[in-house]
Amino acid sequence: MLSRNFSPEENQPGKDQIVILSYGLWQRRFGSDSGIIGRAVTIEDKNYIVVGVMPQGFNFPGQVDVWKPLAPAHKARNFRLLSVIARLKPDVSLEQARMEMKTIANRLQQEYPKTNSGYGVDVISIHEGMVRNVRKALLILLGAVAFVLLIACANVANLLLARAAARQREIAIRAALGAGRLRLIRQLLTESALLALLGGAGGLLLAAWGVDLLVALGPRNIPRLNQVGINNQALWFTLAISLLTGLIVGLSPAIQLSKLDLNSALKEGSGKASLGLRLFRHRRRGNFLVISEVALPTSRQEQAGLALVLLVGADGSADPVATVAGRDRWS
């Protein structure tokens, strides 16, 4: 974006003390100063002259903030700390490239036995190369998000059951005035879907405010962490999952209320008795939901510990000793 790239003669000893900055580093550390070109910066106790700034849209696998010329020592055949990134030709598969590179590696072993003997080439996709060291952590993070969503769904379903127990007389009056069962279910599902969409919108707003903080606090080994943000896919996913969640958690109360016995629901003087029965039924359903929160099917103690920690954070009602045990298990 600013100035120039490296020149061939700068890849020589004494002339390679120059760097090109990423757009992000240029913004964060140097305040988007266009006069940075030609100034000296200190990297690992060495002074380098800035000769360029990369454009904003340039993305490199992982987080790279500084480029400098390859030192001559890195060109030795026994230097094996570098990885090569290549683009496949249009009609070449990854397996074809892997076989061809193995052939070249075998040829180099025969030509340079002192440095290349016993060394080959591993050709993998760039996606696999980026996530293979953190794949397990990312899957655990995805599972944690799913568990939190399940816990939230169970809590909301519990609240909707309690709300349904208090609305039986209202629904009975609607049914007595001619509202059919399908009409009642549609009304209740619409209410729960609207509630879920409002919750999703609130969560999306909170995410928009907190994503920068989460990225700053996140571990540096997560691939492309600096590019994490809210895009159109996140918006559509939030809309879809909110709507689906609202329909699922509202289905049971809707079906329950649509099966009301109008005579008993509308009887005068039976309010206390019917209310007690409704609360008893609600409590049984609520206990089932609470049990389902705790008894998540797991095959490893680590996963059970994760569920326990998530429940402590969500409900705040777990035993403090259990909290410490779950935390120590993860440490």
Strands 66-67 and 2-3: unpaired
Positive/negative CA dihedral, 158, 162, 167, 172: positive
Contact call for residues 30 and 36 (beta carbons, < 8 A): yes
For residue 95, give every residue at least 6 positions away whose Cβ sits within 8 Å of its Cβ, in sequence order, or none. none
- Reading the chain (331 residues) residue by residue, the pLDDT tens digits are 999 999 888 877 778 889 999 998 999 899 999 999 999 999 888 899 999 999 987 877 667 889 998 877 677 888 888 778 889 999 999 999 999 999 999 999 999 999 999 888 889 998 888 788 778 877 888 888 888 887 777 777 777 777 777 777 777 787 777 777 788 888 888 888 888 888 888 888 888 888 888 778 877 667 677 677 888 888 888 888 888 888 887 887 777 776 666 666 566 444 444 444 454 455 555 555 555 555 544 444 444 444 565 555 544 433 333 333 333 333 3
Tokens of 41: 């910066």
Predicted local distance difference test score (pLDDT) of residue 145: 83
For residue 42, give every residue at least 6 positions away whose Cβ sits within 8 Å of its Cβ, in sequence order, or none. 48
Contact call for residues 1 and 56 (beta carbons, < 8 A): yes
pTM of the full predicted structure? 0.53
Residue keyed to tokens 């609470």: 290
Eight-state DSSP code of residue 40: E
